[in-house]
Amino acid sequence: MSTLVDLREEVTDLVQRLVRVDTTNPPGNETAAAELLREYLEASGIDNCELIARTPERANLVARIPGGDGPSLLFLGHTDVVLADPAEWSVPPFSGELRDGMVWGRGAIDMKSQVAANAVAFASLAREGFKPSGDLIFAATADEENGTGFGLEWLCEAHPDVVRCDFSINEGGGDRVELEDGRAIYQATVAEKMTAPFRILVKGRSGHASMPRIADNALVNATRLIDRIADYRPEPQLGPEVEGFMQAVFGEVPPAAEVVERAAPLSPVAAVVLDALLGPTFSPTMISASQKRNVIPALCAVEVDCRLMPGQHPEDVEPTIRAVLGEDVDYELEWVEGAHGGTRSPLDTPLWRALEEWVAETEPGAIAAPLACVGFTDSHWLREAFGTVAYGFFPTTGELPPEVAAGLVHSADERIPVSDLEAGVSWLRHAAHAILS
């Protein structure tokens, strides 16, 4: 029987080795990580490991401890990482160095840490002869960061039987946040917003820039629309995640308009997230107009990063956007790239209860609080394909404060405390016992 100390060393070593495999996406090359993980799992006696790939160099690894006909649980994680520029780092980004009790390197947080913890929880259960009542599944998937169809999206479509599951644990939550009143909350994401970017093509009439009155400057017209978007505050509305959060933290659910002012004194960080979950958000982020300084542009394109509430669709908000933009400026609105994500899982589930139990046992007095994810993760593929109850939860200990950790994701000097890895393994083992015993 492995002790928790053994598992801590095991998971630390595995994260270090995973970080050293450069899976920068593009091009990904996730097969090298999948092979490392297969070797690790096979050494623990798991022979049910399968590399499944659309192209040979971008393999997904799926392993299984078969169970009875009870509900199944999937430990999900992606093995690809985003680009790292060594010039910005204090250690080489693919060194996996252990320094000051932390593993350093690209993917240390997002998300080779969780992939390694998934593997160690899975392997340790197998070594102990764990007999699940339903399948326990491990999946290390490719291409989450770029989403070009080699990872979970493709598996759900081409090999649904290997990833179909009733419950899933993925990235996207787990931050331990200390409230100003001394209590700690562990945030878990149970839903995600839909991303639905749009472009506004603002019209004008070109002319020589030396005589402004001769033309109608599309760029100047666009600034009026940008101001209106920036000033717009949608009517706040409560979804089940914010309701669940307020109930968990305050013991009651205030009206939507009071959520941010209630939360801000306890946690400014949480208040910013809650604010983004009370309605759709519209952030103008890109603009392009004239190609020459001396030509007044006839056209100006403004791109807006737009995130809708789970369950909302572009056609639901387009009339509001048009009303905000007004009628005095000539423009066209087009949705670009389509709409993605926007799924949710219910809160009244055995997996949520397992999460509450783990938090209560790990830190008496701490609170498990649900939230929706403002971005999105691979969880939405599972929710869409199989109706899976998918939560984002990889608990942190707070050794690295959440506001610091958040700034390291996709950035320089990404690192994770060993204590977080240990907490992650503990949570995953707890969840497997709770759902599958």
Point out the residues that are catalytic: 80, 144
Going 58 to 24 to 111 to 278, the CA torsion angle's sign is negative
**Nearest in space to 389 (alpha carbons), one of 357, 355, 429:** 355
Q: Which is nearer to Zn ion, 289 or 390 (by Cβ)?
A: 390
Q: How many residues bind Zn ion (CB under 5 A)?
A: 3
- The pair of structure tokens assigned to 258 is 């009071």
Residue 27's DSSP bridge partners are none
| Residue 110 lies near Zn ion (rule: CB under 5 A) | yes
Q: Show the DSSP H helices in 107-163 as ranges.
A: 112-127, 152-158, 160-163
Closest residue to Zn ion, Cβ-based? 110
From the CB of 391, what's the least distance to Zn ion, in Å? 15
In the complex with Zn ion, the residue whose CB is nearer, 30 or 135, is 30
The structure tokens listed for 429 are: 């083992």
Residue in the structure block whose two tokens are 């009875």: 68
Considering only CA atoms, which of 372, 437, 391 is closest in space to residue 167?
391
- Closest CB to Zn ion among residues 220, 408: 408
Q: Which residue in 103, 111, 155, 185 binds Zn ion (CB under 5 A)?
A: 111
According to CB under 5 A, which residues from 153 to 182 bind Zn ion? Answer: 171
Token pair listed for 193:
């917003």
* Paired strand residues for 1: none
Closest approach of Cβ 171 to Zn ion, in Å?
5
Cβ 192 to Zn ion shortest distance, Å: 13
Are 61 and 31 spatial neighbours (Cβ–Cβ below 8 Å)?
no
Q: Which is nearer to Zn ion, 239 or 392 (CB)?
A: 392
Rounded least distance, CB 80 to Zn ion, Å: 8
DSSP type of residue 81: B
CB of 278 to Zn ion, least distance (A): 25
Owner of token pair 């509305």: 237
Contact characters 119-158, Zn ion, x per CB under 5 A: ----------------------------------------
Q: Which is nearer to Zn ion, 373 or 431 (CB)?
A: 373
Q: Give contact residues for Zn ion (rule: CB under 5 A).
A: 110-111, 171
